[in-house]
Chains A and B, each alone.
Chain A
Amino acid sequence: MSIFGFLATVKLGEATSGGGFWMPEGASTVAAEVDEVFYFINNINYFFFALCTFVLVYFAIKYRLKPNHHSGFSHDAPTHNTPLELTWSIVPLFLVGVMFWLGMDGYLRLNESPEDAYPVSVTGQKWSWTFQHPEYGVTEAGELTVPLGRPVRLLMTSSDVLHSLFIPAFRVKNDVVPGRYSSLWFEATRPGQYRLYCSEYCGKDHSKMLAVVNVLPEEEFQAQLGKLAREYEDIEDRDLPVYALTRLYNRCASCHSLDGKSGTGPSFKGLWERTKNGTTAFTDGSTLADYMRPGGEFEVPENYIRDSILNPQHYIVQNYLGAMPTFKGQLKERQIDALVLMIKNMDRLVDEQGNPIESPDLGDADISTGAGQ
């Protein structure tokens, strides 16, 4: 098995360029530095590992109990040697001192974000990431677009439990804590797509709380964000449902299916039917119809969908926990409208199995959102 270990030694030469046998290829300014520290420790560890293993095996063989040696064990071999003890305490002490120093040095640099970093605010919630670009007024979900060669600073918080944002290629990670801000910075050095994981356990779909970091050269980056900024403004009302399905639904997908299977939350399939008819039952025993009477809160049924997105804890659907986070402040008005329309027109958007239909026919779709009524 230690074959692996020796393989790694062979690869040592590449260490300083980041990556190598032990590490994934690096794509940020700090990656190479972190890898250097890693391989420094690695070399020391190989040495001590080899030393201990060699001594262990050598002694075990050399001093094997001879068959006729079952009695008369000698009592003269030395039982202590203080200079030796001191040597093997002080040498490792010195070495760990160096390790500590290198690690601290790198860490402190990892910790101080440059003044002019490009800001992104990040919200983690079960089980998706939302990235907001204040400079462009753009919100992305599941994908983070960042410029190449410019420091980027993430200011992160969580709206439910702990999460942790981890981008292996950049060698950065920080916990995302509810009720508090934490931050992280990096400067990407290679364009491309990199994986982003949630690395702090956060419940059921922890392992699906993934995202992609999209590193684009400066001009492309600006073009892309400009496009995203105008994205929904340019859309015809009639296209909003499709827009919601392709661009927004991924934030709901971890809990709401399209094929009728219930997950953490009820499926979107058939949801509108239930809502329209007021048959949805809540945990407190009431049904939606109770609130739909004239003058009631949901006289206009669309308002119930809206309310579910903004104040999910108000009415908890029977057989489910109040696990849905609020999207208040994370979706613009028009995006909420789009979601409402999507749910209303679900039957036209997806087929029986819940697969999106290519260019669905929305010619006669009901595109009233209930607002203003």
Chain B
Amino acid sequence: MTQMHVQSDGHDEHGHDHPEFLAHHWDNPVQQFEAGKLGMWLFLATEVLLFGGLFCAYAIWRSNHPELFKYGSQFLDTTWGAINTAVLLVSSMTMAMAVTFAARGKMKAVAVSLVLTLLGAGGFMAIKYVEYSHKFHEGFYPGMAFYEKPNASDLWMPLEETAIAQKAEIAAAEASDSAHLAAEDVARAEMPSPPADSQVWNQPEAGIGPQGLTTNNEIMEMAEFSAFLPSSVLGNIEDQPEELAFAEHHKPGEEVHLSHPLQDPERPVNAQKFFTIYFMMTGLHGIHVVIGGIVIVWLLWLTMRGRFSAAYYTPIDLGGLYWHIVDVIWIFLFPLFYLI
């Protein structure tokens, strides 16, 4: 790897037409190139599956707690998101140009395109930095840092709340939509009344929504059994934030300015989950952008050293594929978080 320049017809000790970029176990450049390409595609498949796990988590969370996503997404800045999408798309284009120029042997143009792509990567990360620091400033952190973690023993309450909501929903479906709130009252009336000595429940973050696999039946049964549940369950139900109702009397996109989300009286239970998945997915994507940037720098370096030619530019081609997949993943992330 120490030779300064490589030509496809360069001298080499293997004899006949065995150019130096060709590793000893390949018969010819085409075979090597195709292997590289297949390998890259396989790698991209694993990348997609890696994100696939998170998309799956997103889908499950969203279907379990739609209100959190409605609530959370209004705090994301669609303008910055859109600008970032554009930046990535343009960088994808310049990357494609680099590959085309490489195929034609125009190495100067390749270098210029790579620099442009790199600028795109940098710009994207800069904007992400602005967005992230803004979020942190407002007090939106991922996970537990959002606020204190409640005790395992405090699990009971939200289940109860869910039962009420479920009953309300069922009742509402039977009556009409406008009767929703009334139905909720009915559901409450059906619940056993709290004993006199019960404490006021004040840890709303311990929410358990309808689980993906919990059947309605079980929740209904639970309500029947509630007479034998720990007394903490029967806390002051009236004080609960009405997560389901929230989405209805709150226009999405409406300006909400708060110094800290905890002070928002209308914040639904477990609001931090939205930010958790937001930070995880965009964070993992950001890591990929950074890796992509490093790859581009490496390609640029090799280009400047004259390693590539029209006959051999496999790394540029493969780097390009990687960059496109990073772009494509963002194309999915943007609408999922910012738009819907």
Contact = CB atoms under 8 A, between A and B. Distances in A.
Judged by CB atoms under 8 Å, the answer to whether A and B touch is: yes
Interface of A: 119, 121, 132, 134, 155, 159-160, 178-183, 313, 325-326, 328-330
Nearest to B215: A181
Contact of A181 (B222, B230, B231): B222
B153 A132 contact: no
Interface residues of B, number: 21
**8 tightest A-B CB contacts, nearest first:** A329-B230, A326-B153, A134-B228, A179-B208, A329-B231, A181-B218, A313-B151, A179-B155
B151 A181 contact: no
A159 B229 contact: no
Interface in B218-243: 218-219, 221-222, 225, 227-233
Contacts of B225: 119, 121, 134, 155, 181
B56 interface: no
A62 B222 CA distance: 66
Contacts of A134: 225, 227-228
A18 B97 CA distance: 74
Given A181-B221, A181-B222, A183-B218, A325 B231 contact: no
B340 interface: no
Contacts, number: 50
Contacts of A160: 152
B138 to A, nearest CB: 30
Contacts of B227: 134
Contacts of A326: 151, 153
Contacts of B219: 181
B214 interface: yes
B228 A121 contact: yes
Given A134-B228, A181-B221, A181-B222, 6 more contacts: A155-B221, A155-B222, A159-B152, A179-B211, A313-B153, A328-B230
A183 B153 CA distance: 20
A325 B152 contact: yes
A182 B219 CA distance: 10
Nearest to A119: B225
Interface of B: 151-153, 155-156, 159, 208, 211, 214, 218-219, 221-222, 225, 227-233
Nearest to A135: B228
6 contacts: A155-B221, A179-B208, A313-B151, A325-B152, A326-B151, A329-B233
A183 B224 CA distance: 14
Given A178-B155, A180-B214, A326-B153, A132 B228 contact: yes
Contact of B232 (A119, A180, A183, A328): A328
B218 A325 contact: no
Nearest to A120: B228
Give the residue among B159, B214, B230 with the most A Cβ atoms within 10 A: B230
Contacts of A325: 152-153
A121 B224 CA distance: 12
Contacts of B208: 179-180
Contacts of B228: 121, 132, 134
B210 to A, nearest CB: 10
A313 B206 CA distance: 16
Contacts of A178: 152, 155
A173 B155 CA distance: 24
Given A179-B159, A181-B222, A329 B232 contact: yes
B151 to A, nearest CB: 5
Contacts of B159: 179
Given A159-B152, A179-B155, A329 B229 contact: yes
Nearest to B150: A313
A159 B155 contact: yes
Nearest to A326: B153
Contacts of B218: 180-183
Nearest to B154: A326
Contacts of A159: 152-153, 155
A183 B221 CA distance: 10
Contacts of B156: 329
Contacts of B222: 155, 181
B206 to A, nearest CB: 9
Contacts of A155: 221-222, 225
